[in-house]
A and B are shown apart, each in its own frame.
Chain A
């Protein structure tokens, strides 16, 4: 029997980057010490992104358009899931068009929830094809160090036991304790931290080795044989310090993306693993840590299949960032920390008709068009009568999310209320014949016109901050962005 392991990974980082120096400058009058952290950028969610939308994008990157019929379970791990009682994983599964019989569950409680979910999935014998996705966009109090350190993102892993496993599991180990380096009460938006030196010396430096050492012993792997050490957290030298203490080679320490993306929380160790797997060669050992009121550790070994994976999948997409944002107010507004006066026009009620959403879930969540059985016209929305030939036979489903499309008509709308004006929208023409009106986001006005190629992303269409259930739908982004501004 094959051993269980990881068969694919996917990542998603929002395209928005906040310039840390601009943040430090905004706080310079009150917190001059933040200037020392004012280097590089951090990722953050646009107004229309949350942990569900990011998870969907990471999952799509992981699946790469492959067959999902055999997916048995999906676990969604996050400390910033939008819903306390409404299974977030289920919403993610519907947007990713996973089979209806896939068992879905949420995992939360600490930022090690992503690694915890990976361990649970690796040790679950119920299915040979599973998914783990982790996403977070932790808010930090303005002026805090965390505001500088944190980032937003998502990572997805496919777990199985087939010949396509690129890194199989050599062992896992966990511990629990009451070491509270930080916490976030259930009704709070922000984390509360204890002193950093105590966290480093009494927390990471002692807790991590107490789990890793016995794991290495039980797996009979020497620390010096670890090729990739994925130690999350924002502290810049933490990975190196722990590697040295554990006897892991310094060059094995995987970059924690602190310079450009920031500490993404729950997905962070999985993003580091995805990045390590891009470079790992058969036989390389990989060690992944999850930390928070205890510790999780996973030891993996890359297989021969990783060579084909490198060839077929290319580098893990951490998304090409937009030019760094220099307006701190924009960052605050998108985080929901700045209540701007958008005028009376913004007062429209955006309540979601839940019964309608359920009726149209295949269209709205899964972005499935209809295909007319009589004339093959692909169409959205799906009504009872074909737009092209008038046939009334039931239509077959055709997912549009991965279909190539172009701008047919567009404008930039400066009148309508929109949280990131101007709002670009227009008719999107799919190569398969489908056409519909869509929002177009992350547009560079100088490189955008009719005929520009588009790809689809899952986003919040309109927020209902009054009731907390937003309208989710798909939007179009330019298929290719210019230079890497990261």
Chain B
């Protein structure tokens, strides 16, 4: 009977670039910047890394496919390196690859790195991508915000909430992240925005306005993992371990059967349920210290609060408006600004979330440090709510 990877993998080094419009840097420079920080943090030599997982979601348009762009950029000579892509869960997928390699005993040191250079497209937003030769012939060719805005119509319908009340709640989601982003020197958007500006911004995909959408950013983040035993042998005392790492992907039930009501993300519920079981969490609302969730759009964060079981079904609007997820609330969410303000270089995001949880656990989060951080959850949602991939990972202290 499989027992999961709880406490079998220690994160001993992490790095994250400043996110934003990095006109000065390409993929190679971003990757090197994050890697240098992680290597220094881990206190090991590059040559000790035995395997690497490199995530890039849309970056193949810049650097081509395969893992060679990262072996070139970091000069990772002669080791197995895997390039992977799983939409916005790519960063967490890279971490999973590295963690599994360590947990299996295959290697002592593994690297997970996610890099995304989005600002070489010439326009705002994500570039449209092919959905495959068959799907391209019938799928509506819609934008990412419009894919997630579907949730708003489903949520409204299920709970009988009027458009104005829902708009106000999702507006608060973004307002809170802007407040948090101000305190993060690596964040893309470091400016507080008042609620009226948020509510009255131009509509991108109804009901999502400009401030309901996350930043499209360049950036990279990475993690170096090993076993707790090796971490101790390196002299580490305050050891952060992976408590759970789970994914769930759609197989068509949401988009091609009449099962899904449109008000939640099925994959997040499945991944969260498995992650809580793996981590031994019984009551996430009480046990989680902080959350970094996939707030690609404000409505996504709102329903995610319910999908993660922190708010009750139908209760997220009230919790959000009550400030439960604000920096001084019950479970601070997006304390680093989230995708909304830290930014969203797709393949780096999952690792960026874990980076923030790692900093919080180690008390290294500066002005935005929360008290008594014990368990940090990171959540990615790739694709669209009805056809996608959710990842939930939880980190904590060894021994907790």
Contact = CB atoms under 8 A, between A and B. Distances in A.
Contact of B137 (A344, A364, A415, A437): A364
A353 interface: yes
Given A343-B123, A344-B123, A411-B152, A381 B138 contact: yes
A91 interface: no
Contacts of A381: 134-135, 138, 256
A360 B252 CA distance: 18
Point out which of A388, A413, A461 has the most chain B C-beta atoms below 10 A from its C-beta. A413
Interface stretch (A159-167, A198-206, A424-432): A424-432
B140 interface: yes
A63 interface: no
A355 to B, nearest CB: 8
A450 B140 contact: no
Given A364-B138, A414-B205, A437-B140, A409 B257 contact: no
Contacts of B138: 363-364, 381, 436, 461, 473-474
Contacts of A422: 205-206
B210 to A, nearest CB: 10
Interface string A344-380: 1100101011001101100110000000000001011
Nearest to B213: A415
Nearest to B151: A409
Interface stretch (B15-23, B142-150, B324-332, B375-383): B142-150
A75 B50 CA distance: 69
Contact of A426 (B153, B202, B203, B258): B153
A461 B140 CA distance: 8
Contacts of B204: 414-415
A473 B146 contact: no
Interface residues of B, number: 42
Contacts of A388: 253, 257
Interface in A281-296: none
A413 B145 contact: yes
B257 A344 contact: no
Nearest to A387: B252
Point out which of B134, B154, B204, B258 has the most chain A C-beta atoms below 10 A from its C-beta. B258
Contacts of A177: none
Nearest to B385: A409
Given A387-B257, A409-B154, A437-B255, A357 B146 contact: no
Point out which of A345, A416, A439 has the most chain B C-beta atoms below 10 A from its C-beta. A416
B137 A408 contact: no
B153 A411 contact: yes
Contacts of B143: 413, 415-416
Contacts of A451: 157
Contacts of A377: 257
A381 B137 CA distance: 11
A439 B140 contact: yes
Point out which of A350, A363, A411, A418 has the most chain B C-beta atoms below 10 A from its C-beta. A411
B204 to A, nearest CB: 5
A411 B204 CA distance: 10
Interface in B190-211: 202-206, 208
Contact of B386 (A363, A427, A474): A427
Point out which of A348, A381, A409, A473 has the most chain B C-beta atoms below 10 A from its C-beta. A409
B253 A387 contact: yes
Nearest to B155: A409
Contacts of A438: 140
A357 B153 contact: no
A462 interface: yes
Contacts of A380: 256
Interface in B135-178: 135-146, 149-154, 156-157
Point out which of A359, A427, A461, A474 has the most chain B C-beta atoms below 10 A from its C-beta. A427
A420 interface: no
Contacts of B136: 350, 353, 471
B128 interface: yes
Contacts of A356: 133-134, 137
Given A381-B134, A427-B262, A416 B153 contact: no
Interface string B108-151: 00000000000001110100100001111111111111100111
A416 B128 contact: yes
Given A345-B128, A416-B141, A423 B146 contact: yes
Nearest to A416: B143
Contact of A427 (B133, B134, B150): B150
B160 to A, nearest CB: 11
Contacts of A359: 134
Given A415-B143, A425-B146, A360 B137 contact: yes
B73 interface: no
Interface in A315-365: 343-345, 348, 350, 352-353, 356-357, 359-360, 363-364
B155 to A, nearest CB: 9
A257 interface: no
A450 to B, nearest CB: 4
Given A415-B205, A423-B142, A427-B150, A352 B262 contact: no
A451 B262 CA distance: 12
B214 to A, nearest CB: 13
Interface in A423-471: 423, 425-427, 429, 433-439, 449-451, 461-462, 471
A410 interface: yes
A462 B252 CA distance: 24
A412 interface: yes
B253 A415 contact: no
Contacts of B154: 408-409, 450
A390 to B, nearest CB: 9
Given A363-B138, A423-B142, A344 B122 contact: yes
B142 A425 contact: yes
B251 interface: yes
Contacts of B152: 411
Nearest to A349: B130
B256 A387 contact: yes
Nearest to A411: B149
Nearest to A383: B252
B256 A435 contact: yes
Contacts of A426: 150, 153
Contact of A436 (B153, B251, B253, B256): B256
A371 B152 CA distance: 31
A161 B139 CA distance: 43
A64 to B, nearest CB: 26
B222 to A, nearest CB: 31
Given A413-B145, A414-B205, A352 B137 contact: yes
Contacts of B206: 411-412, 414, 422
B258 A433 contact: yes
Contact of A409 (B128, B150, B252, B253): B150
A345 B153 contact: no
Contact of A348 (B128, B149, B156, B205): B128
A291 B87 CA distance: 59
A471 B152 CA distance: 30
Return the 3 tightest CB-CB contacts between A and B, nearest first.
A413-B146, A411-B149, A425-B140
7 contacts: A344-B123, A381-B135, A409-B154, A412-B203, A413-B205, A414-B203, A450-B262
Given A426-B153, A437-B255, A450-B262, 17 more contacts: A377-B257, A379-B252, A380-B256, A408-B262, A409-B153, A412-B203, A415-B125, A425-B146, A426-B150, A427-B255, A427-B386, A433-B258, A435-B257, A437-B140, A438-B140, A450-B157, A461-B141
